[in-house]
Structure 1
Amino acid sequence: MNLFLGAVRLALSAIARNKLRAALTVLGILIGVTAVVMVTALAGGASASVGSQIDNFGSNLLFINPESVQQSGARGKVTGRLTEADGRAIMREAVSVAQVAPWLSTMGQVVYGDKNAATTLAGTTTSYFPIRRFRVGKGELWTESDETLKTKVCVIGETVAEKLFGTADPVGRTIRIGRAPFRVIGVLEPKGNSPFGDDQDDRVLMPIGSFRARVMPTSPGRADMLMASATSEQTTVRAQAQITALLRQRHRIGPGKDPDFNVNTQAEFRKAQEAISGVLSALLLAVAGVSLVVGGIGVMNIMLVSVAERTREIGIRLSIGARERDILVQFLIEAIVLSMVGGLLGILLGSAATVALGRALGWDTVPSAQAIGVATATSAFIGVVFGFLPARRAASLDPIEALRTE
């Protein structure tokens, strides 16, 4: 134990005598460990942020989209067709489905006075709002009679309201979409960006009949997409199976044939998001790992220089009775101490930078105990691995040859 403590004292005194060299050695490890801590925390924060946005869509949400299929004897692909009648059939017969809403949309210009805004124009039914967890902050929604009579009313998002009306109350005012005047009857509560990056507050919603009659004429009953909500999160998979079976029957798609639609759940989006996050995190950690390896090589090179400069000192110690093991332990401890100091400084710097970036990005980023533990262990490991060669070279010096070195 006394020998080990003596080796530690010698190592620390050697580091203290060469502060600049020690600082350069520490710097390489510091950068690598900082990168590891930041990458791990930011990847977790980004994944949690996207996950919360997906959950904000609704954990029991299902998207039913038309799919292009190859018809027998046809040269090209034919796009599948979804209708409002499909939605009504799903509501009647799929017992695990709580609500269904059709969706038609396009990009268009909205005008109020001398102001205008390019935004998403969409037609749907009132079922859309509970399905997507949209709430009206000001005013009210349209009614079923508005849908039947194709009334020229609309509900707008917060972004559209700010562009057209500033701080004024939009409810009751009339905007123009194309040539048709629409009365604003409500403003949605802010939702922010979706996981796909689009602004969910930058839209104008109206009864689907009004949209079809005055904004974008389409064939009767056609829908770009159907949205549905299962009766609970636990019945989502069952609802998906029921919708698939029902639409295959309605669209006369036999066994073994590709359907002209697809039904996706939030769980599938989350799995895809987690897979993408995992790949990105692995790539970023690999880059951070390269930084640590470069830092380790720096430790080895500077320790080799230290051995060369202290050859005569090593020869004196060996000639007065120091064993090879003592020299080996001394230089190994020097390398480990330098690596650990770099690792601890890297953890502090990485944690501070992570918190600052998390606040700037609006993410909940906290350095994980696992990442800090791995960074600490990696620092010690680098000190041992990359410090062994210089330590071994120092221990294997011939005392007589070492004493002759000037």
Structure 2
Amino acid sequence: MRIYIQLMFESFRFAWEALRSNLLRTILSLLGVTVGIFAIIAVFVLVDSMEKNVKDNLAFLGDRTMYVQKWPFGFGGPYPWWKYVNRPSVNYAEYEFLSKRVTMAEAVAIFDQQGGITMKNGSSSIGNITVLGVTESYQTIVEIPLGDGRFFNELESTAARQVAIIGADIVDALFPGIDPIGKTFKMDGLNFVVIGTMKKQGESLLGGPDFDVACFVPYGTFDKLYHTKNSDPAICIRGLETDKGMEELEAEVTGLMRTRRSLKPIEEDSFSINRTEQVVAAVEGIFGALYTGGAVISFFSLLVGGFGIANIMFVSVRERTNIIGIQKSLGAKNAFILYQFLFEAVFLSVLGGLAGLFLVFLLTFIPFGSLELVMRANNIILGISVSAVIGTLAGIIPAAIAARMDPVIAIRSK
């Protein structure tokens, strides 16, 4: 064990001497590894952060949730809108029908939304607000960032009361510096009482409504204000934990909806059942392709870096041929020489990789709007591991050449 520690120390000393005595040459040789590790880890950090951001912003869809609506989700390829445009939209009566009969659901709700709404309070106003009409059970299906106050109850929902939960930007615009709970504002000629507010969310990279400029009202109130022939509500259903994959729930909902709409066995469904897993799977597919593309591009940078390490090791072997001969004449075995040069190659490559990782770390401090870059431990481990592999592959041939040298010929070399 002691001999291996001594060998490692000697190899480290030789590597450090090579780095210090030929600083410019070594830096130029390691630049390829640094750039390659920076490229591949930067891509992975960027893709990881984007994927996390997108999935966090898709929380508005809910967990274990399916949506019964007119249009299906569309991912990839041409979207055959002409097949769906003449379908009837779901309605409140169908929501009541499902909520009373479905047995494999934890909660059932209906929602719709309208954008571009202006709200006023005295001389203050704010425009381009998204108003969402929902039933009281919506809060148990979808994650709503409720801050102060409360959500409306079943009585307020069924009676279509003029109550609202508003976002942080609406609070700042209509009620600056005061507690908005219990206060009123005007929207499309009607007075609404604020019963709750939402926490500040900030900009989202992707997702549903921006909750900072969103307002929740009871579905009946929304329907009274904004119901038109272009309305396109959706029924959202949260499945039971025991129903893995929500297959039983989907079968039950499909049968109930076909019965409700009196569809014959030979007729196609006149509705779509969309599941949150479809969105997540599409997102994972996109980012998987980005991972692959980034890795392929970065491979060429690492290839250049590997040749740089190999070049510096060939030069190092030639410069230290006489020393190798002396070591062998004193009893150093081939494995000792091989390990010495191989460790040196790995050390130099890892050093270049650490420089690349440091550059990626600095990259995480640059603001990218709503996208927060996070460098995870697995990215660091990957960077160091790839650097070590590149060093091993680049140094194995020079190390083998050094190990097979004839000690007499090596000592006589100049």
Shorter-chain TM-score: what band? Answer: 0.7 to 0.9
Partner of 1:64, secondary structure, is strand
Aligned to 1:186: 195
Shift of 1:120: 0.7
Aligned to 2:75: none
Distance in 1 (alpha carbons) for counterparts of 2:284 and 2:356: 28
Deviations 1:265-317 (A, max 9, x none): 33333333333333323333333333322222333445566678x5xx75897
1:103 to 95, 111, 115: 111
Check if 1:61 corresponds to 2:65. Answer: yes
Shift of 1:242: 1.3
Gaps of 5+ in 1: 69-73
Distance in 2 (alpha carbons) for counterparts of 1:292 and 1:231: 49
2:214 to 200, 203, 213: 203
Distance in 1 (alpha carbons) for counterparts of 2:403 and 2:160: 91
1:296 to 288, 292, 306: 306
Q: Which is further off, 325-334 or 192-201?
A: 325-334
Percent identity, please: 25
- Give the letter aligned to residue 295 of structure 1: G
375 and 127 in structure 1: CA distance in 2 versus 1, 3 angstrom threshold: closer
14 and 151 in structure 1: CA distance in 2 versus 1, 3 angstrom threshold: closer
Check if 1:27 corresponds to 2:31. Answer: yes
Distance in 1 (alpha carbons) for counterparts of 2:53 and 2:242: 20
Distance in 1 (alpha carbons) for counterparts of 2:205 and 2:31: 40
On the 8 A contact 1:108/1:119 being kept in 2, the answer is yes
Distance in 1 (alpha carbons) for counterparts of 2:390 and 2:106: 57
Per the normalisation by structure 2, the TM-score is 0.74
Gaps of 5+ in 2: 73-81
Deviations 1:335-354 (A, max 9, x none): 3332132234444x167447
Check if 1:380 corresponds to 2:384. Answer: no
Check if 1:212 corresponds to 2:223. Answer: yes
Per the normalisation by structure 1, the TM-score is 0.75
- Give the letter aligned to residue 212 of structure 1: D
Deviations 1:357-393 (A, max 9, x none): 699968694533x544443343233224334566688
Distance in 1 (alpha carbons) for counterparts of 2:382 and 2:149: 54
Shift of 1:184: 2.5
On the 8 A contact 1:7/1:333 being kept in 2, the answer is no
Check if 1:336 corresponds to 2:346. Answer: yes
Distance in 2 (alpha carbons) for counterparts of 1:96 and 1:125: 19
- Give the letter aligned to residue 26 of structure 1: L
Check if 1:259 corresponds to 2:269. Answer: yes
Check if 1:229 corresponds to 2:238. Answer: yes
Deviations 1:38-75 (A, max 9, x none): 4445544544454455456532322222137xxxxx99
Shift of 1:36: 4.0
On the 8 A contact 2:198/2:211 being kept in 1, the answer is no
Aligned to 1:119: 129
- Give the letter aligned to residue 210 of structure 1: T
Shift of 1:85: 1.3
Distance in 1 (alpha carbons) for counterparts of 2:64 and 2:84: 35
How many residues of Structure 1 are paired with residues of Structure 2 in the alignment?
392
On the 8 A contact 1:160/1:202 being kept in 2, the answer is yes
Shift of 1:82: 0.8
Distance in 2 (alpha carbons) for counterparts of 1:388 and 1:144: 73
Shift of 1:255: 4.2
Distance in 2 (alpha carbons) for counterparts of 1:330 and 1:146: 78
Aligned to 1:86: 94
On the 8 A contact 2:126/2:173 being kept in 1, the answer is yes
287 and 53 in structure 1: CA distance in 2 versus 1, 3 angstrom threshold: same
2:278 to 264, 268, 271: 268
203 and 302 in structure 1: CA distance in 2 versus 1, 3 angstrom threshold: same
Check if 1:277 corresponds to 2:281. Answer: no
On the 8 A contact 1:61/1:228 being kept in 2, the answer is yes
Q: Which is further off, 248-257 or 82-91?
A: 248-257
Aligned to 2:79: none
- Supply the RMSD in Å over aligned alpha carbons: 4.5
Shift of 1:18: 0.9
On the 8 A contact 1:142/1:185 being kept in 2, the answer is no
Q: Which is further off, 117-126 or 47-56?
A: 47-56
On the 8 A contact 1:7/1:329 being kept in 2, the answer is no
Shift of 1:5: 7.5
On the 8 A contact 1:120/1:203 being kept in 2, the answer is yes
Aligned to 2:77: none
Shift of 1:6: 11
41 and 108 in structure 1: CA distance in 2 versus 1, 3 angstrom threshold: closer
Partner of 2:269, secondary structure, is coil
